[in-house]
Structure 1
Amino acid sequence: MGTPRDARRERLVALLVLGVGAVLLVSSPTWFGSGRAGVGAGQLVLAAALLGAGAMLLRRSRAR
């Protein structure tokens, strides 16, 4: 059974995840500029994962 999907809530969560991923992506050059390339690379990897997950969630919320 379960509860019915709330497409609006799913879309908002997807947009939040996409927003966090975008902020991480845009702010990562700061780490490279300060000589902490390892942190910058990790932030890029995390940003890519969040952007991918957000896109998947957004597509799923629009499936109905």
Structure 2
Amino acid sequence: MRDALYMPALVATRFNPDLKVKYTALRDAGKPAKVAIVAGMRKLIEMANALVKADRKWASKTA
């Protein structure tokens, strides 16, 4: 399961504004890149579980 989330987390840390902020904050705090990406993986799982629990679809934030 962990391997299946690595690439989506890597892409999300670059293009999803919320995950990018979290990734950058961890990197600025001195965490290794892999640790920051794994944190992004966990965040993706938490978001997916919340969407399933609420029975709703992903809605991107509008500016």
TM-score normalised by L of structure 1:
0.41
Q: Which has the higher contact order (CA 8 A, sep 6+)?
A: 1
TM-score (normalised: structure 2): 0.41
